[in-house]
Structure 1
Amino acid sequence: MRLLFKIFFVCLLLLAGVAGALWWWASQPMTLRTSPLDFRIAAGSSLRTAIVEMRESGIAVNPILLGLLARANRADTAIKAGSYSINAGATPHQLLDKLLRGKVTQGELTLVEGWTFRQWRARLDRHPDLRHDAIGLTEMQLLERLGISGSSLEGQLFPDTYLFDKQSSDLDLLARAYRAMQRKLDAEWIQRAQGLPYRSPQEALIMASIIEKETGREADRQLVAAVFVNRLRRGMLLQTDPTVIYGLGERFDGNLRKRDLQSDSPYNTYMRAGLPPSPIAMPGLASLRAALNPASSDVLYFVARGDGSSEFSRTLDEHNRAVNKYQRGGK
């Protein structure tokens, strides 16, 4: 009986010693390749896989001891996927705590109202915190990868500031922006004014993109929308420069010329009636709301005053006087 007690006591001392040694090791700073050091744990990673990923990222941690530490804390199945960052001086205990709490680092990207998809894509391609799976894909290939029907992503992505797990795919961010726009458009379509000359939410989205490019002034949006809605109702040409500029694409050099207005294209609203075939930019929520709830007004014309605001007119004579005053320097 005494022998068994002695064996048990020795084993207990050994376990205490191992636990003490493990606790001491877990409190010592790890060696990092760089500081701060960013690393990623992929979704579905086991503890063993996660340790391999961390070591490959530059964390010199003993895999056996870290595995023992995780199991001792019943944490071997509770680590969370994501992107992380640690600094010099971090200990295995702090590392494990970060993985258990899911203290991930996030990237941030602001996609701007009024930008075209070409501009958005350039920003995506340059962002250092994204995995660039979209590079080299045509727009049609992008649509297929995202499972989106249609011929273009123009206007289909909601402008916002997006937070994302570092080194997640740019395709995931595009999908989020697309779903966000669909939610916003559907919600505004339900609350639209009666009698609007749109046959579908897509036509409202096209109008919203024109409003977005025509004014950034909150007070003018609904009146700008009223001008274009009234023109559509009367069968008048929209005659809006931003659609022509969009149709020129990379040929536009910053100077819209008379010959551009007289050159026919699907986006030349000086020559073709109705809406252009697609949005011309990514509209924000304010422009969506203006397109679907324009001001109750019979205005048909507007001209820039030169201070960011616009002068609205009901008749061509009024408009010509406004043009003479604000653009030609007349009295």
Structure 2
Amino acid sequence: MWRNIASNALTFLVVVVFLFGGALIWAQNEYSASGPLDAPICLQVARGSNFNRVSQDLEEQGAISSGMIFRLGADYTEKAGQLKAGAYLVPERASMTEITDIVTKGGASTCGTEVVYRIGVNSALVQVRELDPAVGRYTEVLEFNPAEPAPTEYAAFRDDMSTRFRVSLAEGVTSWQVVQELGQVDVLDGEVANLPVEGSLAPDSYEVTKGDGRGALIERMQMAQQVILDNAWENRAEGLPYESKNEALTMASIVEKETGNAEERFLVASVFVNRLERGMRLQTDPTVIYGITNGQGVLGRGIRQSELRAETPYNTYVIAGLPPTPIANPGRAAIEAALNPAASDFIYFVAKTLNPADGHNFAATLDEHNSNVAAYRKLEAARPNQ
């Protein structure tokens, strides 16, 4: 009898092990298989949330077939403790494996409502926008000048716990402009103790959270710019007429202010490098303007002849070589152009048309340049209402 009992028990154990193994294989396949979503969704993961709450939300939105398998899979892959708060775009047919990776990898949120504080060269702007998961594009909900009273609807977006915030710096803004406009960003705290060194802030888009310090954000911008400059300096072309990284950064800022045309930056840089190498003055208006404004806002008028003749450290019509500091915060592309300029014999350039976006005509001789200038003057003379 005992032999029969032992035999039956062994048989039962084999069946249990077999069933368990089969269930485990089935669960693993379910965890990695394509999911049931037939359209992308925006998944909100609140601060302090856990995989149990996330799995319930995913089940309710039809993104996963089993909350239990989703939770067990996260435990098995040791990712259950790595959940990151945010708003995440979950693509159609995403597997539970892919969704787990999305909500645990961290980084910038990828969908939902966001408020973007844009700091531009000529103005600042606050934009409230929302990503439509179905089409993968942002739609603008609200827009206003931060120097003016905010629309009443803005507070609801700002105070919503799921809203994300970004501070976006345009290429060519000055450090003074950045500090001034950060003071208008009402989700940030604290003051900026000292004006950042000109050129030391990396133009980019920075995700922030409510209560972040303005000083800490400035430090992030400075660290990012230092990494960009160090990498570009390490990979610079040979024989450039710069004695330091600061001189290269100064050149990059001039290139940034002289052209907004990405395709031209390397040619513009070559003109100024060629001028330095030949002992010619740079003769660039943006440096003169910086000497007048000290980077504090836009000049808002033409440069006077007396200002072009004035002997100031930033008047490159008078001084030899580079000015003593950068004249703005250049972006990555301008820094790379300054440290790897195009190979050319150009030493002059002038705008092609009255639209700055159309770029410049370049010349290697004064005769060519004078011809280009004459063509530009004709366009000026023919301008309506002049």
Q: Same fold per TM (> 0.5)?
A: yes
Q: Is the contact between residue 240 and residue 269 of structure 1 (CA under 8 Å) also seen in structure 2?
A: yes
Of 332, 337, 340 in structure 2, the residue corresponding to residue 293 of structure 1 is: 340
Classify the secondary structure of the residue corresponding to 1:327.
helix
Of 242, 247, 258 in structure 2, the residue corresponding to residue 214 of structure 1 is: 258
Partner of 1:302: 349
Segment drifting more, 215-224 vs 105-114: 105-114
Q: Is the contact between residue 105 and residue 166 of structure 1 (CA under 8 Å) also seen in structure 2?
A: no
1:144-293 aligned at under 5 Å gives the runs: 153-249=197-293, 252-293=299-340
The letter for the 2-side match of 1:316 is: L
After superposition, give the CA deviation of every residue in 1:86-143 in whole Å (9 maximum; x if it has no partner): xxxxxxxxxxxxxxx9997642110111111111112100001100322xx443xxxx
The letter for the 1-side match of 2:275 is: R
After superposition, give the CA deviation of every residue in 1:296-322 in whole Å (9 maximum; x if it has no partner): 001000001123210000011111111
Deviation at 1:256, TM superposition (A): 1.1
- CA–CA distance in structure 2, aligned partners of residues 138 and 292 of structure 1: 29
Deviation at 1:231, TM superposition (A): 0.4
- CA–CA distance in structure 1, aligned partners of residues 301 and 332 of structure 2: 27
- CA–CA distance in structure 1, aligned partners of residues 191 and 84 of structure 2: 20
- CA–CA distance in structure 1, aligned partners of residues 170 and 350 of structure 2: 25
Segment drifting more, 247-256 vs 267-276: 247-256
The letter for the 2-side match of 1:327 is: R
Q: Is 1:319 the equivalent of 2:363?
A: no
- CA–CA distance in structure 2, aligned partners of residues 163 and 213 of structure 1: 26
Partner of 2:150: none
Classify the secondary structure of the residue corresponding to 2:165.
strand
- Comparing both structures, which one devotes a greater share of its residues to helix? 1
Classify the secondary structure of the residue corresponding to 2:205.
strand
- CA–CA distance in structure 2, aligned partners of residues 124 and 153 of structure 1: 16
- CA–CA distance in structure 2, aligned partners of residues 289 and 198 of structure 1: 14
Deviation at 1:252, TM superposition (A): 3.2
Q: Is the contact between residue 305 and residue 327 of structure 1 (CA under 8 Å) also seen in structure 2?
A: no
Deviation at 1:293, TM superposition (A): 0.6
- CA–CA distance in structure 2, aligned partners of residues 293 and 314 of structure 1: 19
Partner of 1:119: 177
Classify the secondary structure of the residue corresponding to 2:183.
helix
After superposition, give the CA deviation of every residue in 1:211-248 in whole Å (9 maximum; x if it has no partner): 00000101211110000000000110000000000000
The letter for the 2-side match of 1:298 is: D
- CA–CA distance in structure 2, aligned partners of residues 197 and 104 of structure 1: 50
Q: Is the contact between residue 82 and residue 104 of structure 1 (CA under 8 Å) also seen in structure 2?
A: no
The letter for the 1-side match of 2:235 is: Q
**Structure 1: 5+ residue stretches without partners:** 1-39, 42-77, 84-100, 140-151
Classify the secondary structure of the residue corresponding to 2:227.
helix
RMSD of the TM alignment (CA)? 2.9
- CA–CA distance in structure 2, aligned partners of residues 321 and 242 of structure 1: 23
Q: Measured at CA, do residues 132 and 254 of structure 1 come closer, stay the same or move farther in structure 2, by a change above 3 Å?
A: farther
Classify the secondary structure of the residue corresponding to 1:254.
coil
**Structure 2: 5+ residue stretches without partners:** 1-46, 49-80, 87-103, 107-160
- CA–CA distance in structure 2, aligned partners of residues 254 and 176 of structure 1: 34
TM (normalized to structure 1)?
0.63
After superposition, give the CA deviation of every residue in 1:10-37 in whole Å (9 maximum; x if it has no partner): xxxxxxxxxxxxxxxxxxxxxxxxxxxx
Q: Is the contact between residue 303 and residue 310 of structure 1 (CA under 8 Å) also seen in structure 2?
A: yes
TM (normalized to structure 2)?
0.54
Partner of 1:95: none
Deviation at 1:280, TM superposition (A): 0.3
Classify the secondary structure of the residue corresponding to 1:109.
strand
